[in-house]
Amino acid sequence: MTQVVNDGTPEMKGLLEKGRKRLRNVGVILLVLGVLAVAFPFATTIAFKTVIGWLFLIGAMGHFYGAWNADTPTRRGVDVVQGIIFGLIGVWLAFFPLGGIVTLTVLLAIVFILQGLVEALMAFWLSQFPGWKWMLFSGGVAVLVGVLIFAELPSSATWAIGLLLGVNLLSSGFSYLMVSMAMGKVSAR
């Protein structure tokens, strides 16, 4: 792993400052979202599920648009079938708030575990900065959150998504702020 060293040039200071500000801003946004999610776990669960439903509905419209512009009947048929499937899933997720929360909870647990592994890799990639261990800690928390979601199924599915999403956002936001502060020390050299 190469060591990032502030050689004192304006270009390096500018790059470090830009990266530091970006991490700080993302950290603050994640912290605010995390506080809101922890404060309102059931509402966060429903909102999360509804947003995913609308994304599926947008995907369905994309498939129908593709079918409209398809150059072969086979392609048109495939796009229509995909559009119908995406549309049905989107309607189910967006307009039936309590349906499918357990399934979504399982998917979220998988996402948390994968995110935790990615953050752990990111931590090792940022290991030249003093605050890299916070990123590693955040990755560990995300993996733990994913395991906790699996352990509490199905009884806690209505509040687990919102609460654990909030905890994960808080953990990630805090780690981004810690890395940002450490980068500030490096850029000041």
Closest CA to 44 of 57, 54, 53, 33: 33
Q: What is the mean pLDDT of residues 73-94?
A: 88
Q: What is the mean pLDDT of residues 10-14?
A: 73
Closest CA to 23 of 141, 132, 179: 179
Q: Does the pLDDT of residue 60 top 90, yes or no?
A: yes
- Side chain identity, residue 189: R
Q: String of b and e for 125-139 (b: at least 16 CB within 10 Å)? A: ebeebebbbbbbbbb
Closest CA to 169 of 126, 119, 131: 119
- Provide the mean pLDDT of the chain: 83
Q: Is residue 69 part of a domain?
A: yes
Q: Is residue 3 part of a domain?
A: no
Q: Is residue 39 part of a domain?
A: yes
Q: Is residue 86 part of a domain?
A: yes
CA–CA distance, 55 with 171 (Å, rounded to integer):
26
Q: Is residue 99 part of a domain?
A: yes
Task: Provide the domain limits for residue 66.
Answer: 10-187
Q: Is residue 84 part of a domain?
A: yes
Percent of the chain residues topping a pLDDT of 70? 93
Helix (H, G, I), strand (E, B) or coil at 29: helix
Q: What is the pTM of this model?
A: 0.59
Q: Output the pLDDT for position 6.
A: 56
Band (pLDDT 50/70/90 cuts) for residue 29 is very high
Question: Helix 157-187 to helix 10-39 angle, to the nearest 10 degrees?
Answer: 160
Q: Does the pLDDT of residue 74 top 90, yes or no?
A: no
Please give the tally of structural domains in the chain.
Answer: 1
Tens digit of each residue's pLDDT (9 = 90 or more) over 161-179: 788 788 888 988 988 888 8
Q: Output the pLDDT for position 45.
A: 85
Tokens of 38: 């922890």
Q: What is the mean pLDDT of residues 84-110?
A: 84
Percent of the chain residues topping a pLDDT of 90? 17
Tens digit of each residue's pLDDT (9 = 90 or more) over 115-150: 899 988 888 888 888 778 888 898 898 899 888 888
Q: Is residue 91 part of a domain?
A: yes
Q: What is the mean pLDDT of residues 100-126?
A: 85
CA–CA distance, 95 with 72 (Å, rounded to integer):
34
CA-to-CA dists, residue 8 to 18, 115, 185, angstroms:
15, 35, 13
Q: Is residue 92 part of a domain?
A: yes
CA–CA distance, 62 with 172 (Å, rounded to integer):
32
Tokens of 13: 């200071």
